[in-house]
Structures are given as structure tokens and as C-alpha cells.
């Protein structure tokens, strides 16, 4: 450490400290620094003794009490002021210096034997750590002096003399002003002495009169208080009587009224629950009736649709087409016969030259034809013949299998002719009625596809077209005709 380490706070000139600072022991330095801390502790104790209600507004104090909770610990502790940090650091360093003072003395004795040239005064013989600690202690002392006064330390001798002269001038001016104020006050007292005596007598008289007036007011208020006490006693007795009457009413009349009310309310609630049940039941039945009105029972009896692959047409779940097993085909044809019989009865239609014979999967079609026969007397007569067409077939292997297929083709053409007669009947009812797929019974085709079984893949498409037309016919007849004939 050099002598020019400290500078004057006024003129910034380098200072050479007195030898007493260098020769001060660590205990003396600690005593100087601890005085400031004791003073701060005394001020903190004074602050603790104060009542917060005396110097803090009520609204801010209530806000603090709502927020403050002594059980909670802060997440981050704010650091103390820089002075306190320096104080702690300085105290620790000074304590360490005190503890190591004996070691430093021994060390100085050893070094003095070997280095006789080192004889500089103050702290030059100390090690670097002790120098740093002493430097911090001196800085701490100057900070304490600056905080306790309006002057920043250290100061040079010239600045200190100028400051003392300035304070002397201010002191002299203050003394002169004090003397002037004292003389002026003395003159005022001499002038107002008599006036004050008269004022005191007047104030004393007014006080006596006010005391008498207040005594009279006190007597009146005491009388009024007695009357109010008597009135209070009367009101309490009346209140007791009313309470007794109210209790009697509750026990007798009010109890009966409440019982009747509860009984009526319970009965009303039961009737209301029955009403709600009836309303809900009515809504359920009404919805069910609406569903039944919108339901076409004929479509439910004869369900015509396509399979999952949209390849074959189905009626009541039975497929109809090429490469379908024959028992399933026979069952589907039997369902078609039942559907046609229902439609014919619904339309009151009389078939020409045909009659349907429903027999399940072995249904038949009876075809009537007129044949001219010659008699023994060489005359010709018309004879009506009946031919049975089987609307089914089997998968049995025989030489006549090819002929069985031909027989089924004839039956399918006859079935197509019956459907054509039904279409003609519907057109008599509605001229604009037109089926989606055109029927040409003479060629045995529907929608441009052959109805013959031997047409293989075309037969599958024609069967789909046939069931589609039957679905249209069923929907139309169920809506536009009456069921009296069934």
C-alpha cells in the first residue's frame, strides 16, 4: 500500500495519513467499526418500539396484514446494503487479523533477523493479506464518518481549515439572528402583558359559565336516561308477552296449517308425477304411431335389395342369378310368385291365359291355350288346354339337363308376360306410370337383357332388372290402391 492511496473528497489531492492510523491495533479498528453497527442496532430497536398504526395509513397497513404471512419463507433473500456487506466482510477480516496477529508478530521477528534493511514504518512489514484487511478497515472507517456527518471523508488539511472557517461564519450569523429574535420577542411581551391579563380573566369567566351550562345539560340527560330505562323495561315485558303468544300459535294453529299444507303438497306432487308419466307415455305412443303410419308393411314382407357386392338381386334374402345354387334360386322364384299374387289381388286383376300356383320353392305357372280339334263329324271345335310350367329346377346331372334349362326358360318368359300384364293394368290407373326397365315379353327381354337362364351372365342382370320393376310396382300399388280386395 502507498501513501497516495487515499485522496481528498473535496479537491481530489493525494493524502498522507497520520501515523496513528498505521499504528492503530486491530482491536482499536474493530472498536471504531463496531460503534457504527451498535448505533444502527439502537436505531432498529427504536423502530421496533414504534407502533405501526401511528405512522402508517390504515389502508396500507390492512393491505400489508393481508399479504404478510410469517410462516412463509421468501424464495430469494435480498442482500443488505453495501455498507452492511462491507461491515461483515471487514469484521471477518479484522477477526482473522486479530487471530493471526501473534503469528504475524512471530513472522516479523524471523524476517527482521534475515532482512535488516526493511525498517519502513507502519504496515510495510506486514504480508499482503494483512495489508488488504487494514486497507478495508480504513475504508470502512471513512465511510462511517461520512455517513454520520454531512462531510465526506477523508479531507486534506487545507479543505478542513476552509470548512472550519465556513462553519464559524455560519455560527456567527446564527448568533446574530438569535439575538435579534430575542430582542423582538421581549418587545412583544412588554406590549401585550396587560392585554394578556384581561384575556385570561375573560376566558376564566367563559369557562365557569360553560361548566354551569354543562352541569345543567348533564342533569337533563340523566332524567332522560331514567325515562328511557323505564321505557326499555316496559318494552322488554311486552316483547316477552308477544313471544309467548307466538309460541302458542306455533304449537296450535300454525302446526295444523303446516300439516294440511304438507298433505296437499304431497298429493299435488303425486298427481303431477302421474301427469308427467301420462305425458311421456302419450309421446311414446304418438311416436310409435307415426312410425307405423310411415311404415310400408308390404316392403317389410317382400324385401327387395342387392347383396353386399351389389352383384345379385335378392328377395327376402334369396339371391337370383347365374352361378347361384339352385335351391336358393327356386326359393327366390317362389317369393316372386307370392309377390305377384299379392299385387294381382291388390289391383283386382284377372290374368289372361295364366294362373300362378304358389308352392314355395316348387311354384308353378298354369298356361291356358285354345286348340282347334276336328271331330268325328268332320267339324272343328275349340278346346282349352292347360299346360303346367315348373318355375323351379334342380342341379341333378342327367341327359335331360339341357331340356330342364329350356323348360325353365319358358317359365321365365311366362313370368315376364305376367309382369307385363300388371304394367298394362297400372297404366290404366295412371297414364304417366312407367317402370325403370322396359319389358319386351315377346322377345323374352327386360331392360335389353335376356330373361333366359341359358343367357348366363345376362340372366343375372335381367333378374336384377325384374326385381327392381317389381319393387316399383309394389310401392305404387301399396300407395295408390285400397286393400279391400285382400
pLDDT at 400 over 50: no
Question: Average model confidence (pLDDT) for the chain?
Answer: 76
Apex CA 348: angle with CA 342 and CA 350, to 5°?
95
pLDDT at 244 over 60: yes
Confidence of residue 238 (pLDDT cuts 50, 70, 90): very high
Confidence of residue 360 (pLDDT cuts 50, 70, 90): confident
pLDDT of residue 310: 77
Which residues lie closer than 8 Å to 314 by C-beta, 6 or more apart? 303, 304, 305, 306, 307, 320, 332, 467
Which residues lie closer than 8 Å to 113 by C-beta, 6 or more apart? none
- Tell me which of 484 and 80 has the higher pLDDT: 484
Most confident of 67-81, 184-198, 226-240: 226-240
pLDDT at 68 over 80: no
Picking from 104-113, 119-128, 297-306, which range would have the lowest pLDDT averaged per residue? 104-113
Please state, in angstroms and rounded to a whole number, the distance separating the CA atoms of residues 291 and 25. 113
pLDDT of residue 48: 59
| Neighbour count for residue 37 (Cβ, 10 Å) | 15
pLDDT of residue 285: 92
* Cell numbers at 358, concatenated: 304358389
Label each residue of the chain as H, E or C: CCHHHCECCCCCCECCCCHHHHHCCHHHHHHHHHHHHHHHHHHHHHHHHCCHHHHCCHHHHHHHHHHCCCCCCCCCCCCCCHHHHHHHHHHHHHHHHHHCHHHHHHHHHHHHHHCCCCCCCCCCCCCHHHHHHHHHHHHHHHHHHHHHCCCCCCCCHHHHHHHHHHHHHHHHHHHHHHHHHHHHHHHHHHHCHHHHHHHHHHHHHHHHHHHHHHHHHHHHHHHHHHHHHHHHHHHHHHHHHHHHHHHHHHHCHHHHHHHHHHHHHHHHHHHHHHHHHHHHHHHHHHHHHHHHHHCCHHHHHCCEEECCCCCCEEECCEEECCCCCHHHHHHHHHHHHHHHHHHHHHHCCCCCCEEEECCHHHCEEEEEEEEEEECCCCCEEEEEEEEEEECCCCCCCCCCHHHHHHHHHHHHHHHHHHHHHHHHHHHHHCCCCCCCCCEECCCCEECCEECCHHHCHHHHHHHHHHHHHHHHHHHHHHHHCCCCCC
Q: What is the mean pLDDT of residues 162-176?
A: 88
Interval 361-373: pLDDT, tens: 888 889 888 777 6
pLDDT at 258 over 60: yes
Beta bridge partners of 94: none
pLDDT of residue 268: 95
Confidence of residue 115 (pLDDT cuts 50, 70, 90): very low
Interval 289-303: pLDDT, tens: 888 777 777 777 888
pLDDT of residue 282: 93
Confidence of residue 227 (pLDDT cuts 50, 70, 90): very high
- Tell me which of 484 and 321 has the higher pLDDT: 321
Q: Which of 414, 401, 412, 413 lies closest to 329 in space, CA to CA?
A: 412
pLDDT of residue 196: 56
First to last CA, the chain: 132
- Tell me which of 421 and 393 has the higher pLDDT: 421
Picking from 52-61, 275-284, 430-439, which range would have the lowest pLDDT averaged per residue? 52-61
For each of the domains in the chain, give its residue range(s) and CATH number, in order of start.
3-155 (no CATH), 318-480 (1.10.418.40)
pLDDT at 195 over 60: no
pLDDT at 78 over 90: no
Q: What is the mean pLDDT of residues 165-191?
A: 85
pLDDT of residue 121: 42
Which residues lie closer than 8 Å to 3 by C-beta, 6 or more apart? 14, 15, 16, 17
pLDDT of residue 201: 67
User: In percent, how much of the chain has pLDDT > 90?
Assistant: 14
Judge contact between 147 and 35, C-beta under 8 A. no
Q: What is the mean pLDDT of residues 84-112?
A: 41
* Cell numbers at 438, concatenated: 322396359
pLDDT of residue 112: 42
Whose grid coordinates read 369567566?
A: 205
Please state, in angstroms and rounded to a whole number, the distance separating the CA atoms of residues 100 and 127. 11
* Cell numbers at 1, concatenated: 500500500
**pTM of whole model > 0.75?**
no
pLDDT at 2 over 60: no
Picking from 136-140, 446-450, 452-456, which range would have the lowest pLDDT averaged per residue? 136-140
pLDDT at 223 over 90: yes
Please state, in angstroms and rounded to a whole number, the distance separating the CA atoms of residues 308 and 306. 7
pLDDT of residue 230: 93
- Tell me which of 301 and 233 has the higher pLDDT: 233
Which residues lie closer than 8 Å to 277 by C-beta, 6 or more apart? none
Picking from 32-46, 109-123, 230-244, 313-327, which range would have the lowest pLDDT averaged per residue? 109-123
Confidence of residue 277 (pLDDT cuts 50, 70, 90): very high
pLDDT of residue 93: 43
Where on the phi/psi map is residue 247: left (φ > 0), alpha (ψ -120 to 50), or beta?
Answer: alpha
- Tell me which of 274 and 194 has the higher pLDDT: 274
- Tell me which of 61 and 84 has the higher pLDDT: 61
Amino acid at each position: 500500500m502507498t501513501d497516495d492511496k487515499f485522496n481528498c473528497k473535496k479537491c481530489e489531492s493525494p493524502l498522507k495519513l497520520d501515523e496513528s492510523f498505521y499504528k492503530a491495533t486491530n482491536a482499536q479498528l474493530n472498536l471504531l467499526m463496531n460503534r457504527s453497527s451498535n448505533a444502527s442496532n439502537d436505531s432498529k430497536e427504536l423502530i421496533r418500539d414504534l407502533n405501526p398504526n401511528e405512522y402508517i395509513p390504515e389502508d396500507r397497513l390492512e393491505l400489508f396484514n393481508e399479504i404478510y404471512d410469517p410462516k412463509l419463507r421468501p424464495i430469494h433473500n435480498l442482500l443488505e446494503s453495501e455498507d452492511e456487506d462491507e461491515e461483515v466482510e471487514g469484521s471477518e477480516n479484522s477477526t482473522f487479523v486479530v487471530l493471526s496477529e501473534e503469528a504475524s508478530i512471530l513472522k516479523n521477528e524471523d524476517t527482521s533477523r534475515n532482512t535488516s534493511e526493511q525498517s519502513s514504518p507502519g504496515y510495510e512489514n506486514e504480508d499482503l493479506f494483512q495489508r488488504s484487511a487494514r486497507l478495508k478497515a480504513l475504508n470502512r472507517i471513512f465511510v462511517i464518518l461520512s455517513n454520520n456527518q454531512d462531510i465526506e471523508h477523508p479531507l486534506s488539511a487545507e479543505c478542513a481549515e476552509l470548512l472550519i472557517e465556513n462553519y464559524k461564519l455560519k455560527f456567527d450569523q446564527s448568533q446574530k439572528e438569535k439575538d435579534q429574535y430575542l430582542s423582538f420577542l421581549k418587545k412583544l411581551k412588554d406590549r401585550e402583558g396587560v392585554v394578556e391579563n384581561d384575556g385570561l380573566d375573560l376566558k376564566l369567566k367563559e369557562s365557569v359559565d360553560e361548566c354551569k351550562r354543562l352541569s345543567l345539560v348533564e342533569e337533563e340527560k340523566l332524567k332522560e336516561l331514567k325515562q328511557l330505562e323505564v321505557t326499555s323495561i316496559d318494552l322488554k315485558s311486552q316483547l316477552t308477552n308477544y313471544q309467548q303468544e307466538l309460541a302458542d300459535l306455533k304449537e296450535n294453529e300454525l302446526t295444523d296449517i303446516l300439516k294440511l299444507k304438507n298433505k296437499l303438497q304431497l298429493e299435488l306432487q303425486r298427481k303431477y308425477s302421474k301427469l308427467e308419466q301420462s305425458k311421456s307415455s302419450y309421446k311414446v305412443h304418438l311416436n310409435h304411431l307415426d312410425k307405423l303410419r310411415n311404415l310400408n308393411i308390404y316392403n317389410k314382407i317382400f324385401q327387395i335389395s342387392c347383396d353386399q357386392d351389389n352383384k345379385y338381386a335378392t328377395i327376402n334374402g334369396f339371391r337370383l342369378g347365374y352361378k347361384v345354387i339352385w335351391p336358393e334360386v327356386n326359393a327366390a322364384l317362389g317369393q316372386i310368385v307370392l309377390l305377384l299374387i299379392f299385387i294381382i289381388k291388390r289391383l283386382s286383376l284377372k290374368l289372361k291365359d295364366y294362373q300362378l300356383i304358389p308352392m314355395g320353392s316348387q311354384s308353378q305357372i298354369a298356361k291356358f291355350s285354345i286348340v282347334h280339334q276336328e271331330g268325328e263329324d268332320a267339324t272343328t271345335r275349340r278346346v282349352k288346354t292347360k299346360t303346367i310350367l315348373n318355375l323351379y329346377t334342380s342341379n341333378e346331372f342327367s341327359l335331360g339337363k339341357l331340356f330342364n334349362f329350356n323348360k325353365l326358360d319358358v317359365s321365365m318368359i311366362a313370368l315376364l308376360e305376367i309382369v307385363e300384364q300388371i304394367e298394362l293394368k297400372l297404366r290404366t290407373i295412371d297414364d304417366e306410370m312407367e317402370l325403370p326397365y322396359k319389358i319386351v315379353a315377346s322377345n323374352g327381354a327386360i331392360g335389353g337383357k335376356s330373361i333366359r337362364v341359358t343367357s348366363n351372365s345376362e340372366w343375372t342382370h335381367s333378374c336384377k332388372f325384374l326385381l327392381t320393376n317389381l319393387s316399383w310396382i309394389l310401392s305404387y300399388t301399396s300407395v295408390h290402391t285400397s286393400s279391400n280386395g285382400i
